[in-house]
């Protein structure tokens, strides 16, 4: 059954291309007004032209907390869905405008701040896009910013994806405690051929050609997390091929991703790093 989102406003971060754009196109097809929150507004405008219905493009750079604050400060309307889709994958150590390790800062701290700043406007769900790579992540509370640990890009990326799930878990706990009906859900798109792999190795590119699915299929778990009948703190991923391709269903997560104490500690650390706290 196709969801009906007529009259609802949704925000999709990183909606210029890939899973974000496919998600925006589907939500627009459901009747929603779609706001594409993107770093490059010219590319955003081109992407918006492919999205059915009402669209708007707004600038947002999750690697810059000042940009996050400007975006949130300018927002005054109800938000039915906030889709935290934007993310990055870098081959070497880089840092955000605020000095955070790029993966942790862009994939976790930026969405953490954005969600909490926008939360008073959210009426439906917050969907965070993660990955089964979270199973290789490790939250080192003594060195969250990779200042002493030998840097491993793949581990840094996996840790940021683990942080996405822990964020949803603690967000849902806090929403429940506040008596809110808003749901926090996480989605794993699976193995998807997108521009995040532009700098990938020859072997990875061969795997993409042989096994990856397209953005439209990758968007299915995100859409199920956003509109399906699922409880808060669900983790939704593909149904087939080790939850890497096709369809959408609830999937398992690592032991660390189920640890509520780690989720609380990460939340507290994220509040201190961003200066943004739970706003309900």
Q: Is a pLDDT exceeding 80 seen at residue 158?
A: yes
Calculate mean pLDDT across residues 98-127. 98
Q: Is a pLDDT exceeding 60 seen at residue 184?
A: yes
Helix, strand, coil in percent for the chain, rounding step 5: 45, 15, 40
Active-site hit among 30, 151, 157, 197:
157
* pLDDT tens, residue by residue, 114-157: 999 999 999 999 999 999 999 999 999 999 999 999 999 999 99
Which of 128, 236, 140 lies closest to 190, judged by CA?
Answer: 236
- CA atoms of 263 and 172, how far apart (whole Å): 11
Catalogue all structural domains in the chain, each as residue range(s) with its CATH number: 9-273 (3.40.50.720)
162-188 b/e (C-beta count within 10 Å ≥ 16 → b): bbbbbbbbbbbbbbeeeebebbbbbbb
Higher pLDDT residue, 198 or 224? 224
Give this prediction's pTM: 0.94
The answer to whether 197 is a known catalytic residue is no
């Amino acid at each position: 059954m196709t969801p009906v989102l007529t009259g609802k406003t949704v925000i999709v971060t990183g909606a210029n291309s890939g899973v974000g754009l496919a998600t925006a196109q589907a939500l627009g097809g459901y009747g929603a007004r779609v706001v594409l929150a993107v770093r490059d507004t010219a590319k955003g405008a081109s992407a918006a032209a492919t999205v059915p219905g009402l669209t708007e493009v707004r600038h947002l750079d999750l690697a810059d907390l000042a940009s996050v604050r400007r975006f949130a400060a300018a927002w005054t309307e109800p938000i039915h869905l906030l889709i935290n889709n934007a993310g990055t994958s870098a081959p070497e150590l880089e840092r955000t405008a605020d000095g955070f390790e790029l993966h942790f800062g862009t994939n976790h701290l930026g969405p953490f701040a954005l969600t909490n700043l926008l939360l008073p406007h959210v009426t439906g769900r917050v969907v965070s896009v993660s990955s089964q790579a979270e199973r290789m992540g490790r939250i080192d509370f003594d060195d969250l910013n990779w200042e002493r640990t030998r840097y491993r890009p793949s581990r840094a990326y996996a840790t940021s994806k683990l942080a996405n799930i822990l964020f949803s878990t603690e967000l849902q706990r806090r929403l429940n405690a506040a008596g809110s009906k808003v749901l926090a859900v996480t989605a794993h798109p699976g193995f998807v051929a997108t521009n995040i792999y532009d700098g990938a190795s020859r072997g990875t590119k061969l795997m993409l050609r042989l096994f990856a699915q397209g953005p439209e299929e990758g968007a299915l778990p995100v859409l199920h997390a956003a509109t399906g009948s699922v409880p808060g703190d669900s983790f939704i991923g593909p149904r087939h091929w080790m939850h890497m391709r096709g369809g959408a269903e609830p999937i398992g997560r690592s032991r660390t991703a189920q640890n509520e104490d780690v989720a609380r500690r990460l939340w507290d650390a994220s509040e201190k790093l961003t200066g943004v706290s739970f706003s309900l």
